[in-house]
Structure 1
């Protein structure tokens, strides 16, 4: 009997050990990329000027990050993104927060590799944390540590001058958890702020001579995407300037990943039809269009400045056509369709095409399904000369757009202004920003909350037609409004 008890005990020990081993298997971390998301950076820091407490700094930077189509030269698995960053709240002074309204965005674009390394393509200071987190090349198990390089962009005094500080981060894989219904890895991260000893950013704030301090963070990483769902960073650091002054911050920086609500197309599409912006066939195409697929389908039938509608990924799709004549881009191991023998169009076909093109050019508002969401484009806008003020005859178009946007009450709207290119890049950029903001203001007067709008100007950098003709310039003077999803 004692032998049976001993045997049972040994079996239980073996079973427990096997269970522990099964729970502690090696895991390969990787960044798999995700669709569109919001990135939020919230700071709650106590500020000390020359050692004296001067108040609480509370600041929130939000952004909408849209997945874009990688270039053909990109490495397998790399994810490309465009970001629109904006400050939600400013520094609190005398217990009064700076009010939120229409947000003017700061553009950004970057790529992220499978290991989590982030490379900036358009860098205006955001995101603040880059390559954070990044993952080891080898599989690891709970308790394992690794060290990786990262970077942080800082502007301690909000001078508008961004300084980049390198980070050497030590990570530890702590455990697995469920966080808000999502399977996550829980990591710890620690690093020291060391600036001005062996590294200076000569493109940054030259008055910032040194910085030192420490950070200790806990982060929750999505097992599915590799995104940092939540990061909580405890901060204690000091920045020292050329005039001998210093400013210290103690508190927390929190990062959150949030996802935009899906647009209820059962409400949006009828609203577009009521406004006579799309036909029945276009409505069906818009309802069936996949979301965040990396391609863009032009459901308006517009030409986008070329002979055929183009997707942003280089492929071509025409709504309502059969698969027989569809062309596919060939890259890598992508499927290639057999060449289709071309037939010369008849005179009647040519005339019909001309009529369709002319009708499209006269459309007051075009509708597209893009990676970021449903986009409404107001082309050939009529402004007062060299001004952002719309002429009164544009009121009807604004009424139509406002009626559509009201059917997406949970969404935010990206308003992007464009100008024709005349060689004055700075002036074009300023004018495109002013026009985007003015459109947002006009829509807010029609019953849409101001804080729903993110405004962005692209000057003349994104033409849809040639600037060599008055007609082309007219098409390039446009404002695009995207219902973000």
Structure 2
């Protein structure tokens, strides 16, 4: 009798799993006007030239995307800003931004002008128009848009086509990567593709230029079909670029990416809201303004130990209150260090970078942000707000600016 009951229970469990695995669903992107979201990728990359190691770098790729409109076919028109930055002294440094805009369909296809360098990988993922279930496999064409301006002076991105293979592996209950950290039912999709591209213009060139690109990418995507958006993904990749003269560059690495949301902050209403909070908390020598990159809190007369990046206790108490304000925004932060002019500009530059990192360390220690959500830069003494001829002017020039990034 016990064996019969066990057999029945085993059969019921198996039937339940089989039924769950057999449930078909349509996977597709969903766009909503005025939605804002952000991709952050941390890449560990090794670069070799002609077999010799050139560099091992930790890179942060940051993409902020806004959906400006949605058409009758469910396509979203997205305006995006992309930045690639290496991590130095524990934080990614602020660097050049690239803007882009494009239509993207519900199945994931891009419609984008040839002039845009970013994003690099396009038409991934692409979903089948038919319902799929766990275990299903499909293929779809995509391409990489390789930026060859610095290497070979090619003005527009080189389009490298591939055919990707997709497999719907399983469903998983996971905590979402956004600031809500909710338990979500995610679909796990494996994506693999190889590239093998030869430059058709190379044979007619008399100067050094791109000859070929080879490589592969293996991605695992955790897809949130209820939201119609990627939650996060992992990747390992290798790209080999060969020049006409036989030089070989090889890029090998891994990437971990997650999607989070962000708020638009650069408005007069938000500036007034944050300034009121600063006044309410009694934070002295702090002003709030709109800036090129978002909403900036300028901490003037910030006190460090003499010729040092060590914060005084009084400034730590000030940063505790600043952290309370920053907790109301999920956005990444840019921290800029500024010094008064004392000594050489080179020494001012180094000190400004160290002080920006010191403030970043304190905010990370408070749990205000993770390290890959803070970008730092030093401006030395090059951007004074007052003359350095008076003690008051020098005190005000010695400042740290924290920007809640709006793009």
TM-score normalised to structure 1 length: 0.51
**Residues 13 and 172 of structure 1: is their aligned pair in 2 closer, same or farther, counting only changes over 3 Å?**
same
> For residues 443-462 of structure 1, what are the structure 2 equivalents within 5 Å?
449=401, 452=403
**Residues 230 and 158 of structure 1: is their aligned pair in 2 closer, same or farther, counting only changes over 3 Å?**
farther
Aligned to 1:325: none
> For residues 80-99 of structure 1, what are the structure 2 equivalents within 5 Å?
80-89=77-86
User: Displacement, 1:241?
Assistant: 0.5
CA–CA separation in structure 1 for the residues paired with 2:252 and 2:44: 8
Determine whether 1:171 maps to 2:166. Answer: yes
Determine whether 1:125 maps to 2:88. Answer: no
On the 8 A contact 1:234/1:252 being kept in 2, the answer is: yes
Aligned mate of 2:97, from 80, 98, 105: 105
TM-superposition CA deviations, 1:396-424 (whole Å, max 9, x none): xxxxxxxx9x965754689xxxxxxxxxx
> For residues 31-430 of structure 1, what are the structure 2 equivalents within 5 Å?
31-33=29-31, 35-70=35-70, 74-89=71-86, 100-101=93-94, 103-121=95-113, 123-155=115-147, 158-159=150-151, 161=154, 162-180=157-175, 181-196=183-198, 207-260=209-262, 269-270=272-273, 410=329, 411=331
User: Displacement, 1:196?
Assistant: 0.7
Aligned to 1:464: none
Structure label with greater radius of gyration: 1
Determine whether 1:12 maps to 2:9. Answer: yes
TM-superposition CA deviations, 1:170-216 (whole Å, max 9, x none): 0111111133233211111111121117899x9xx981110112222
CA–CA separation in structure 1 for the residues paired with 2:250 and 2:84: 22
**Residues 175 and 446 of structure 1: is their aligned pair in 2 closer, same or farther, counting only changes over 3 Å?**
farther
Segments of 5+ residues of structure 2 without an aligned counterpart are 176-182, 279-288, 297-321, 335-378, 386-395
Q: Which runs of 4+ in 1 moved over 3 A?
A: 8-14, 96-99, 155-162, 197-200, 265-275, 373-376, 406-414, 441-448
CA–CA separation in structure 1 for the residues paired with 2:25 and 2:208: 43
CA–CA separation in structure 2 for the residues paired with 1:62 and 1:242: 32
**Residues 19 and 374 of structure 1: is their aligned pair in 2 closer, same or farther, counting only changes over 3 Å?**
same
CA–CA separation in structure 2 for the residues paired with 1:27 and 1:237: 34
TM-score normalised to structure 2 length: 0.60
SS of residue in 1 equivalent to 2:17: helix
User: Displacement, 1:453?
Assistant: 6.8
TM-superposition CA deviations, 1:91-112 (whole Å, max 9, x none): x8xxx899724x5421111222
CA–CA separation in structure 1 for the residues paired with 2:135 and 2:248: 38
Aligned to 1:429: none
On the 8 A contact 1:191/1:216 being kept in 2, the answer is: yes
Between 145-154 and 155-164, the greater mean CA deviation after superposition: 155-164
Aligned mate of 2:19, from 19, 22, 40: 22
CA–CA separation in structure 1 for the residues paired with 2:105 and 2:201: 25
On the 8 A contact 2:208/2:245 being kept in 1, the answer is: no
SS of residue in 1 equivalent to 2:129: coil
User: Displacement, 1:232?
Assistant: 1.7
SS of residue in 1 equivalent to 2:190: strand
Between 223-232 and 243-252, the greater mean CA deviation after superposition: 223-232
On the 8 A contact 2:271/2:295 being kept in 1, the answer is: no
CA–CA separation in structure 2 for the residues paired with 1:16 and 1:453: 50
SS of residue in 2 equivalent to 1:69: strand
User: Displacement, 1:253?
Assistant: 3.1
Comparing both structures, which one devotes a greater share of its residues to strand?
Answer: 2
User: Displacement, 1:245?
Assistant: 0.5
> For residues 433-444 of structure 1, what are the structure 2 equivalents within 5 Å?
none
